[in-house]
Amino acid sequence: MPAMTDRPASWRMPNRKQMEEVARQLGRNAPLVRGLAPNDRQPDEYWQVLLEAANAAERHLSPKGSLRQRRLGEITEHVLRVECRRCGRTVEIQKADAVRLYGSEAPWRDVGQRLLDDTCTQRTGRYEEDGCWPSLD
């Protein structure tokens, strides 16, 4: 019965001295500083980089990216558009009409959902499946 490995019969694991010699030749000496253990405290530089990355991401948000969080009175666009990710239907409304119907303090997320639900064609009778899935961006 043939051996289950692809190694030649003369293959052996190198000993420690041979492995150290190969590492020296390749210039890959083992690091002298040990890594952090799971319970060790992270260096301050680590936390600083995380905070800077979060601030940078927040600064680079486009106005449309935060549109769903804004109230109708805060939006500068004149025409508001909401699209359904389920059926592909798009509903547009002028900002002035939306403010007149829903009030300037109404969140755009709720208004967009309501606009789609009022004209939804995907009715199955099951609450979990009914309605459209708005894409407000």
**If you average pLDDT over every residue of the chain, what do you get?**
76
- Distance from chain centroid for Cα 68: 16
Is the confidence at residue 1, as pLDDT, over 50?
no
User: Over the stretch 55-78, which tens digit does the pLDDT of each residue have?
Assistant: 766 655 555 446 667 888 888 888
Which of 15-24, 58-67, 83-92 is predicted with the least confidence, judged by mean pLDDT?
A: 58-67
Q: pLDDT-derived band of residue 128, with 50, 70 and 90 as boundaries?
A: low
Q: What is the pTM of this model?
A: 0.47
